[in-house]
Structure 1
Amino acid sequence: MHRSPFLLSLGGLLAMAAAMGVGRFVYTPILPPMVEAIPLTKSQAGLIASANFVGYLAGAVLASMRLPGSRRLWLLSSLAATAICLLDMGFASTMPVFLALRFLAGAASAFALIFSSALVIDRLAATGNGALSAVHFAGVGVGIAASAAVVALLLQAGAEWTTLWFASAAMAAAASLAVLWLVPRDQPTGQTVQRPDGTRLDLDFAALLAAYGLFGFGYVITATFIVDMVRGTPSLAHLEPYIWILFGLCAAPSVVLWTALGRRWGILRIYAVACVVEASGVAASALWLHPASILVSAVLVGGTFVSLTALGLVATRSGGGDPRGRIALMTVSFSIGQIVGPAFAGYVYEATGSLATPLLAAVAALLLAALLALLADARRRAVSPST
């Protein structure tokens, strides 16, 4: 079955919106009413977020193995699993069930990311339409913005937190049905996938690997707790319906901007710049709890976190050696940063009543990531001065 490049990229956008924008990140706007109603402690909220990232790590490792069946089947199965996990969150009431469901949803989101990217980006590149891959990655921001708007409208209508999960499941299911039509069949992965060879851990890649993990830690605290922080601060509470929508709206077009800058000025240099911009956004909310600073934080962090994910993987593929082995190691490093961030922030938040210390730690992590990216760039240029 043939699909035009635009329809194919639209299918990728909807897959990313369902699995990542909704399945992975809708927890952020649902967290505040969920914490109040159950109730949950801040450390428990952080652990639930970390469980999702542990699942993402497990799913990414499993999805990189030689699996039977077609990539399309794995993609559709992961999208179905995402919708089911979202639905079941509305019926759950205990920590073990919350942790298990968010773990499974994290694994499903990793499968959807990997298999949708393999299906969509490979086909777009093969037809000379690689630029449309930005539409695919924009799905994360679109899913965040759309689910945030639905959550905000339901909260204003007096909906309970369980209804928010049910509505999120319905959104993910609707997007998945569209993906079923937009993304055509492919050949079984078991016929084409081979094991990657060993990966050489040279100094420039080691620096990039560490930078990617620090970025995972640096963005995820804001991405997990910004709505909860807004709700808990009287002078900011009026922004709750809008802050996560703004976050998603800034994420959606950001990949186009940052990758274009990367092509002009160098991927690793722009990666470092984006880390500094994101650190400024995190610092804005850490140092000054004011409507203006929170809006700045949403714009700067929302406008960089998806792009930094993409830039890191682009830098990995252009670094020489076996890209699959390197991408697997990058995924592990990124996941470790994401796992540690919410759990650390939740415990400190509960102990001190403030996110200032975890956010400042995130700022330091992002600035260190920028320095490491520049180190990796300098070493690559020393080896290949023409690049």
Structure 2
Amino acid sequence: MREIFFNRENNVSIILAGIFALIVGMGVARFAFTSLLPSMLEHRIDISFAGLLASINYFGYLLGAIFAIFLKELSKKILFFRIGLIICFFTTIFLGLNTNDFIWIVSRFIAGFGSAMLMVVGSSLVMSRLKFEDKTKAMGIHFSGIGFSIAVTDIINRVVLQNNTWEKAWIILAILVIILGSYSFYILNEQKSINFNKIKGKPFKFDLFVIVLIFTYFTVGVGFVIQGTFLPDIINSIKGLEGFGSISWLLVGLSGIPSCIIWMRLAYSFGSVNIILICMLLLIASILIPIYTTNLFLNLLSAILYGGTFIALVGLFLNLGGKIASSNPAFLMGALTSSYGVGQIVAPLYAIALIEKYKNYDSTLYLTAFIMFLGVIILFLNKKKEYLYANN
């Protein structure tokens, strides 16, 4: 067992370290906020401050993604990956130890940066380390860590909130960072392997297809963030569904765990862009369902569709970007994540304005679905250009 799980060259340990890093960077530093939001709205913050904290977290994530573009040397990538782990610990425990609004704003901003280090830089390290000729299927397993990140942190929060406060939940999550982060810290280390150390970046030429990918991923960022921030409150705000918000968020995580593996296997067979378009259309459907029905089953189905597509879309886009810029996957991964981050910053801001004006989520969901549909149309019109880069 030790030769498998503590061997820095073993594919199993590399993927496991990547999944643990995603649980820390995405689950704790980002999605745990959504899971704890109903409790914090009841006891600590209002919806406007929640939107501000979401946007400032995504702004930090955006800056981190942009920063990752310029990390060329392997040693620096590993350094900032480890810094990201440390950041996620301190910015998490701060939320459990104080209630100062300014400290919360700063913590969520810095946590966003740390999250990007684990998501973008960490994923590029995993992709570089894996020993497969085609890494699409393996990266699908890696990105399933986003689903695990939602499910694991939500289950922990549920257990803690049964007998304790949301402050205690943040402290427990900080302990989780130490446990999982230590393993990732150890495994994703600089090695003497020639293949790993010889990876060097080279200038990457942006063409029309890459620009289309970046814009489309921006619309996916918009589509992701509204439910990613407000889904439990959206469900709780529907008449007759009060109290089902937390269940919906758990379903998001559980449906997201196998989604990357399934969708990326399909991408391997039918082409990444084809599968991306299908996932985007299903995500749009999940966004619109709460507007048209109060049916419990359909709204829980909306949560399942959301978790089963947005996580896969992250994996599909970043894997495709990593293959296109194979000599330096962090470069295009960072560019894509930056556009995604812009969408995540913009969307909560217009959402808060529309929610406060109309006193419901309908107009926000309509606008979000419309923006995503623009991305679908533009990518569909350019999808044949994918084959200039790869067969899948």
Q: TM-score, normalised by structure 2?
A: 0.88
SS of aligned partner of 2:243: helix
Q: Residues 118 and 46 (structure 1 numbering): CA distance in 2 closer, same or farther, change over 3 Å?
A: same
The one-letter code matched in structure 1 to 2:18 is: G
The root-mean-square deviation of aligned C-alpha atoms, in Å, is: 2.8
Q: Which residue of 2 aligns with 1:226?
A: 231
Indicate the residue corresponding to 1:28 in structure 2.
34
Instruction: Tell me, yes or no, if the aligned pair for 1:144 and 1:248 is still in contact at 8 Å.
Output: yes
- Residue of structure 2 in register with 1:19 after alignment: 25
Match of 1:258 in 2: 263
Alignment of 1:31-42 (within 5 A): 31-40=37-46, 42=47
Deviations 1:293-341 (A, max 9, x none): 3201110010011111122233335558987554443222111111111
Residue of structure 2 in register with 1:275 after alignment: 280
One-letter amino acid matched to 2:112: G
Q: Specify which of 65, 69, 74 is matched with residue 70 of structure 2.
A: 65
Instruction: Give the 3 Å change call, closer, same or farther, for CA 163–126 of structure 1 in structure 2.
Output: same
Give me the whole-angstrom Cα distance separating, in 1, the residues matched to 2:390 and 2:26: 38
2:287 maps to 1:292: no
Alignment correspondent of 1:200: 206
* In the alignment, structure 1 residue 375 sits paired with structure 2 residue 376: no
1:85 has 2:101 as partner: no
SS in 1 for 2:94: helix
Matched, 1:104 2:110: yes
Paired residue type of 1:313: L
Query: Among residues 124, 128, 151, which one is paired with 2:130 in the alignment?
Result: 124
Pick aligned residue for 1:155 from 155, 158, 161 = 161
Q: Which residue of 1 aligns with 2:370?
A: 364
Q: Tell me the matched-pair count.
A: 381
Q: CA deviation at 1:379?
A: 4.6
Larger CA deviation: 233-242 vs 335-344:
233-242
Partner amino acid, structure 1, of 2:210: F
Q: Distance in 2 between matches of 1:89 and 1:321?
A: 38
Alpha-carbon distance, 1:44 to partner: 1.8
**Aligned to 2:58, which of 53, 59, 72?**
53
Instruction: Name the SS of the counterpart of 1:237 in structure 2.
Output: coil
**Separation in structure 1 between the aligned mates of residue 101 and residue 183 of structure 2, nearest angstrom:** 33
Which residue in 2 is equivalent to 1:348?
354
1:89-136 residue CA offsets vs partner (Å, 9 max, x unmatched): 123323332221111001001111233223322221358876333232
Distance 1:320 1:348 in 2: 39
Task: Give the direction of change, closer, same or farther, for the CA distance of 1:130–1:326 in structure 2 (3 Å limit).
Answer: closer
Partner of 2:3: none
**Pairing partner for 1:314 from 310, 313, 319:** 319
* Distance in 2 separating the partners of 1:87 and 1:44: 19
* Closer, same or farther: CA 371–186 of 1 in aligned 2, 3 Å: same
Taking structure 1 as the reference length, what is the TM-score of the superposition?
0.89
Structure 1 counterpart of 2:179, one-letter code? A
Partner Cα distance (1:273, 1:301) in 2: 13
Between 216-225 and 327-336, report the one with greater CA deviation. 327-336
2:174 pairs with 1:169 = yes
Q: Could you tell me the percent identity over the aligned residues?
A: 25
8 A contact 2:15–2:126 mirrored in 1: yes
Q: Give, in whole Å, the separation in 1 of the partners of 2:162 and 2:355.
A: 27
